[in-house]
Amino acid sequence: MDTNITLIKSHARKLELKNPILNASGTFGYGDEFSEIFDLSILGGIVTKGISLMPKQGNPVPRIVETACGLINAIGLENIGVDAFLAEKLTFLRKFNTPVIVNFFGNTEEEYINCAKKLSVKGIDALEMNVSCPNVKKGGIQFGTDPKILSSLVKKIRDVTEKPLIIKLSPLVSDIAKMACASQDAGADAITCINTIPAMAIDEQTRKPILGNVTGGLSGPAIKPIALRMVWEVSKKCSIPVIGSGGICSAADVIQFMLAGASAVEIGSYSLREPFCFPEIINGLELYMKQHKIAAIRDIIGKLKI
Ligand SMILES: Cc1cc2nc3c(=O)[nH]c(=O)nc-3n(C[C@H](O)[C@H](O)[C@H](O)COP(=O)(O)O)c2cc1C
């Protein structure tokens, strides 16, 4: 049974996955805790927590609240900063026999550029750029919500790194395919679709918002149908591969995303509740392949029957 996915093969850049299952950024830390639960080498790739140029403390607590069908987080992208990441975390991640994909972000183009430059070192297999961040020099508008701002950012990052470059899109747009195509034209190698959706929760007893930051990002099963639709729209319009993210909890969910056009997927919120879900979902994929006599998992990508 062939579960390999050649995710990226363009120019001199290449990213091969032994299977399409990745963890999502921010729900897996730097891999250390999960490595005590299962062998991270079984994953198609490891995606790190979002890394920024300088360390970031994140938002006031409470930072996570559970909702009927998922969770809202307002972690605020807390991280140790790129220098400490390279010095303290990368060697550990390299111990596993799977690609290391570093998620990164900034609040200005310069921060993104300088972070990408520092991350362009041996031992990092790809960069995933989170563009759901406010551009402080443009009145706080998210980089990923304006095609011109997005395109300018992607071009500048493409100029400073030879690493495979994945753009993780914000769902806060009316036409996600337009953002994906703008990223592709600017030099992106792949798209991750989608990040969390802005949301809030209120305690009616205290009449206060539950999260310290008032609002946060909704993830989990509640957003799956939206993510699925967006993956489908992007994969119809773009030729670069799409990584699905949003509410994935089972092998069936993975197959649905692949039929919609995803070449790989990321599992986030569900793994906080079920840390063993990674080996289980990988086994479930193989079972599906056996039951449906699928020789190579890549054969189902985009095979939705309409
Ligand atoms: C606690 C938490 C932290 C997250 N941190 C990041 C992050 O640092 N960078 C990023 O691009 N996405 C981040 N995300 C978004 C996830 O990577 C993922 O795209 C999103 O949660 C949807 O997938 P899910 O429904 O499987 O969680 C975070 C999500 C959660 C729940």
The preferred substitution site among 21, 27, 215, 223 for testing ligand 1, maximizing ligand atoms within 8 Å of CB, is 27
Q: How much distance in Å is there from the Cα of 196 to the middle of ligand 1?
A: 6
For residue 45, the model assigns a pLDDT of: 98
Burial of 128 (0-12, 13-18, 19+ CB in 10 A): buried
Residue tagged 């990584």 (tokens) = 243
Can you give the CATH number for the domain in which 155 is found?
Answer: 3.20.20.70
Active-site annotation holder among 69, 115, 133, 193: 133
Q: How much distance in Å is there from the Cα of 267 to the middle of ligand 1?
A: 9
Q: How much distance in Å is there from the Cα of 78 to the middle of ligand 1?
A: 12
- Whether ligand 1 lies within 6 angstroms of the CB of 59 is answered as no
pLDDT range class, residue 12, cuts 50, 70, 90: confident
- In angstroms, what CA-CA distances link 230 with 158, 180, 242, 250? 24, 10, 10, 19
pLDDT digits (tens, 9 = 90+) for 27-62: 999 999 999 999 999 999 999 999 999 999 999 999
pLDDT range class, residue 193, cuts 50, 70, 90: very high
pTM of the model: 0.98
Can you tell me the mean pLDDT for 263-267?
Answer: 98
The preferred substitution site among 25, 78, 167 for testing ligand 1, maximizing ligand atoms within 8 Å of CB, is 25
- Whether ligand 1 lies within 6 angstroms of the CB of 49 is answered as yes
pLDDT range class, residue 191, cuts 50, 70, 90: very high
Structural domain contains residue 70: no
- Whether ligand 1 lies within 6 angstroms of the CB of 7 is answered as no
Cα separation, 148 vs 257, in Å, equals: 28
- Whether ligand 1 lies within 6 angstroms of the CB of 244 is answered as no
Q: Which of 247, 268, 256 is nearest to 301 (CA)?
A: 256
- Whether ligand 1 lies within 6 angstroms of the CB of 220 is answered as yes
Structural domain contains residue 54: yes
Q: Which of 58, 66, 62 is nearest to 210 (CA)?
A: 62
- Whether ligand 1 lies within 6 angstroms of the CB of 25 is answered as yes
Q: Is the pLDDT of residue 11 over 80?
A: no
Q: How much distance in Å is there from the Cα of 30 to the middle of ligand 1?
A: 13
Cα separation, 169 vs 157, in Å, equals: 15
Question: Rounded to 10 degrees, what is the CA torsion of 186, 179, 56, 80?
Answer: -60
Domain range for 99: 5-59+77-198+220-300
Q: Is the pLDDT of residue 10 over 90?
A: no
pLDDT range class, residue 271, cuts 50, 70, 90: very high
How large is the greatest C-alpha to C-alpha distance in the chain, in angstroms?
A: 58
Burial of 77 (0-12, 13-18, 19+ CB in 10 A): buried
Can you tell me the mean pLDDT for 277-295?
Answer: 98
For residue 20, the model assigns a pLDDT of: 98
Phi and psi (nearest 5°) for 66?
Answer: -85, 145
pLDDT digits (tens, 9 = 90+) for 67-99: 999 999 999 999 999 999 999 999 999 999 999
Structural domain contains residue 274: yes
- Whether ligand 1 lies within 6 angstroms of the CB of 264 is answered as no
Q: How much distance in Å is there from the Cα of 173 to the middle of ligand 1?
A: 18
Structural domain contains residue 262: yes
Burial of 38 (0-12, 13-18, 19+ CB in 10 A): middle
For residue 23, the model assigns a pLDDT of: 98
133 classed as catalytic = yes
For residue 231, the model assigns a pLDDT of: 98
Can you tell me the mean pLDDT for 230-259?
Answer: 98
- Whether ligand 1 lies within 6 angstroms of the CB of 103 is answered as yes
Q: Which atom of ligand 1 is nearest to the CA of 128?
A: 11
Phi and psi (nearest 5°) for 161?
Answer: -140, 145
What contacts 299, CB < 8 A, 6 or more positions away?
none
Domain count, the chain: 1
Structural domain contains residue 183: yes
- Whether ligand 1 lies within 6 angstroms of the CB of 230 is answered as no
Cα separation, 256 vs 251, in Å, equals: 9
Structural domain contains residue 239: yes
Q: Is the pLDDT of residue 129 over 90?
A: yes
The preferred substitution site among 269, 272, 277, 278 for testing ligand 1, maximizing ligand atoms within 8 Å of CB, is 269
Structural domain contains residue 204: no
Average pLDDT value over all residues in the chain: 97
Q: Is the pLDDT of residue 15 over 80?
A: yes
Q: Is the pLDDT of residue 282 over 90?
A: yes
